[in-house]
Each structure stands twice: as structure tokens, then as C-alpha cells.
């Protein structure tokens, strides 16, 4: 495997993790406290999250998993001393914490919802409340007026509006060169062996010298017109012969060589930590993949712009977590409540939402 582990920056909607879940690891920014009310899960700044709000997020996340994997899924040990239910609690906590922090951050920018935006959240709240039975309302601990649901939807839309505000000045233009995806084939001669215990053993310098000479000979065969694919089949020690990739995804020497080649051009012998490579360019620019990479890079650029402001804002916060309430929290009975479409309904109602800001 030649691909490097590429740093991934998650956009806001995929969950911006907050520090609560690190409490068990001794994070000094998290205060475990008995000072919170019995119906409060956590408090951060002037905002707190109720057990009902947490339960709603947990139920929505849990329903998605249970509808696919079945109810036995929750007792599965993850291998790290936790169950899948524990992990979903962490996820629900992170999502809810993000909402509360984003609400506080929106206040810093004097952002509020306008009439049209309020109408959207009212519609979403009405649709969600209509989807629940009386048994479901009772199991989730929600009032019949739907005030908790309306407030959460307001916070979610405000969060989305704030995110859009913080990234509005990000340059959407990404050049072909920056996003370019190339496709190459290669022949690899490894400069190491693996012993019976799976440990890597580097070859001696003398062995490497002989192997390099062999790589040069294989390259000459390719230059003389012998089928590159047949040379791959005969000599290459990589399990994969073809790679498509962008900048920053491969070892630097391999990447630099690949990006300098023209279509059908064969490289010099290139050295990486894996060994000696002869690379043939198949395509200098994969149009479809490059356009897709432009979108991925733009998302990354936006997430980085947002993260700079968000991370600075939360750096001095000391949230309080009611660990006893969190640990004791159980899933509601899904035979009673049926589908929990809290997140789905919000996404459907706001699918075409485009925030606007006063100049």
C-alpha cells in the first residue's frame, strides 16, 4: 500500500466534536459535577442541555443504527471496553454540544434567524411532532407543545447559518493544477523482506545495489517497447498496479515523479520507502476525478476556515458534564416509539435553504 494517511478535515455537518467525550481521559477543560440539575446533561457558558434534548438526539441516532443492525447491536462490545450504545451516547453528546457552542458563537456575531428561517423551523417542528404517537411523546419525555423540538431546530438552523457566515469569504476557485488527479501504473521492487513474525528486514546496501541494477534493466525493457502490463505481472511486488491520486496523497518522491510525466511516458527509477519503482503515466489529468477533488478541497478549505474560529472560541471554555445522568441514560423502547425522524425531517425541510446576511 503506497497511499499515505491523508489528514481529513470534517465539515461542520459531519459533527464537530467537542471536549466532553475526553472527560474519561482526564481532560482538564471538562468539569464533572453534581451541581447540575437532575434533568441537565451538561452546561457550557450560559447554555445547558436537558436530558430530554439529549434523549431526542440519542433516539434519532439509535434508530438509524437499529433499523439496519437490529436491537442486539447495542450490547456489542467495541473491543475498547465500551458498547455501541456508549459510542452513540458520545455521538449524541458531541452533536448537542456543538449546537450549544454554536449558539453562543452566533451571539458573538449578532446572528439571529429571520422570519423566513423561523417559518422553516416551525414547519420542521410541526412535521416531527405529527410523526410521533402519544406513546412516543411520553417515552421521549417531550411536551405536547413541541417547544423542545422547536428550540433544537432553531439552534440547528442558527448553527448552519453561522457556519455559512464564517466561510462566506472562502475563495471557491480551485485550479486544475491544485486539484489534478493523475493515473499511473508502476513496477515495484521491494528493498526489504518480511520475516515469519511479520517484521520488516531491510536489505543490505549490496543487495539494494543489485536490485537497483535490475530495476534499470526492467526500465530499459519498457523503453524498448515491451508491454508494461506484462512487465508488471512478471516483476512487480506490489499487490496493486494502478494508482489514481492527487497532491499530498503519496510519498513525495513517487508523487513528484508521477506529476512530472506526460501521458505514456516512463519514469526513471524512483526510490521510496518501499523500494524501487518504474512508473508509467496513464493519464495526466482525470477530468471527472479532478472535478470531484475540487469539491473535496473546497469542503476542506471551508472546514479549515470555520475550524480556526470555532477552535479559538472553545479553547477557554470549561463545560460541566453530569456524568451520572449520562451513564444512567437508556434507550427508549423502539417497539413503542417507531421511527425517530428528528434529523431526517430537519434535513428534508431545509434541503434548499440558502442563508442570506445583511450587508
DSSP letter string, 203-269: PPHHHHHHHHHHHHHHHHHHHTT--HHHHHHHH--SS--EEEE-TTSS-HHHHHHHHHPPTT-BPPP
* DSSP reduced 3-state for 178: helix
CA-nearest of 18, 158, 23, 11 to 96 is: 18
> What residue ranges of the chain have pLDDT lower than 50?
1-34, 336-337
Q: Which residue has the cell 521510496?
A: 272
Q: Tell me what percent of the residues of the chain surpass a pLDDT of 90.
A: 56
- In this prediction, residue 84 carries a pLDDT of 82
pTM over 0.85: no
Q: What is the pLDDT of residue 341?
A: 85
pLDDT, residue 331, reads: 67
Can you give the pLDDT at residue 105? Answer: 95
**For the chain, the helix, strand and coil percentages under 3-state DSSP, each to the nearest 5:** 50, 15, 35
- The number of C-alpha atoms within 13 Å of 218 and in the hemisphere containing its C-beta is 28
DSSP secondary structure, 211-228, as one string = HHHHHHHHHHHHHTT--H
Work out the widest C-alpha separation in the chain, in whole angstroms.
80
Give the pLDDT of residue 332: 63
Q: Residue 1: its pLDDT value, please?
A: 39
Instruction: Look at phi and psi of residue 300 and say left if phi exceeds 0, alpha if psi is from -120 to 50, else beta.
Output: alpha
10 Å Cβ neighbour count for 25? 7
Q: How far is CA 276 from the centre of its chain?
A: 34
Strand partners, 280: 185, 266
- pLDDT tens digits for range 239-250: 999 999 999 999
Is the sign of the CA dihedral 36, 37, 40, 41 positive or negative? positive
Rounded CA separation 314/27 (Å): 14
Amino acid at each position: 500500500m503506497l497511499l499515505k494517511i491523508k489528514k481529513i478535515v470534517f465539515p461542520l455537518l459531519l459533527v464537530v466534536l467537542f471536549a466532553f467525550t475526553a472527560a474519561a481521559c482526564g481532560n482538564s477543560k471538562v468539569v464533572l459535577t453534581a451541581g447540575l440539575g437532575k434533568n441537565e446533561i451538561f452546561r457550557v457558558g450560559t447554555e445547558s442541555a436537558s436530558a430530554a434534548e439529549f434523549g431526542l438526539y440519542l433516539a434519532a441516532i439509535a434508530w438509524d443504527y437499529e433499523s439496519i443492525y437490529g436491537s442486539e447491536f447495542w450490547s456489542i462490545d467495541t473491543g475498547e471496553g465500551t458498547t455501541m450504545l456508549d459510542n452513540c451516547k458520545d455521538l449524541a453528546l458531541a452533536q448537542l454540544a456543538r449546537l450549544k457552542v454554536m449558539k453562543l458563537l452566533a451571539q458573538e456575531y449578532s446572528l439571529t434567524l429571520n422570519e423566513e428561517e423561523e417559518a422553516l423551523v416551525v414547519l420542521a417542528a410541526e412535521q416531527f411532532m405529527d410523526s410521533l404517537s402519544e406513546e412516543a411523546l411520553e417515552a421521549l419525555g417531550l411536551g405536547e407543545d413541541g417547544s423542545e423540538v422547536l428550540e433544537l431546530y432553531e439552534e440547528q438552523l442558527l448553527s448552519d447559518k453561522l457556519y455559512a457566515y464564517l466561510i462566506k469569504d472562502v475563495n471557491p476557485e480551485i485550479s486544475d493544477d491544485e486539484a489534478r488527479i493523475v493515473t499511473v501504473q508502476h513496477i515495484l521492487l521491494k528493498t526489504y523482506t518480511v520475516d515469519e513474525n511479520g517484521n520488516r528486514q531491510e536489505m543490505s546496501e549490496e543487495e539494494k545495489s543489485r536490485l537497483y541494477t535490475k530495476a534499470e534493466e526492467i526500465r530499459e525493457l519498457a523503453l524498448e517497447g515491451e508491454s508494461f502490463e506484462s512487465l508488471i505481472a512478471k516483476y512487480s511486488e506490489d499487490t496493486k498496479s494502478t494508482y489514481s491520486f492527487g497532491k499530498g496523497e503519496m510519498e513525495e518522491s513517487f508523487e513528484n515523479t508521477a506529476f512530472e510525466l506526460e501521458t505514456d511516458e516512463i519514469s526513471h527509477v524512483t526510490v521510496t520507502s518501499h523500494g524501487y519503482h518504474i512508473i508509467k503515466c496513464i493519464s495526466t489529468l482525470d477530468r471527472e476525478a479532478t472535478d470531484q477533488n475540487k469539491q473535496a478541497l473546497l469542503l476542506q478549505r471551508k472546514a479549515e476556515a470555520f475550524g480556526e474560529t470555532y477552535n479559538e472560541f472553545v479553547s477557554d471554555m470549561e463545560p460541566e458534564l453530569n456524568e451520572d445522568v449520562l451513564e444512567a441514560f437508556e434507550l427508549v423502547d423502539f417497539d413503542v416509539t417507531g421511527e425517530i425522524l428528528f434529523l431526517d425531517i430537519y434535513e428534508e425541510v431545509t434541503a434548499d435553504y440558502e442563508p442570506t446576511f445583511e450587508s
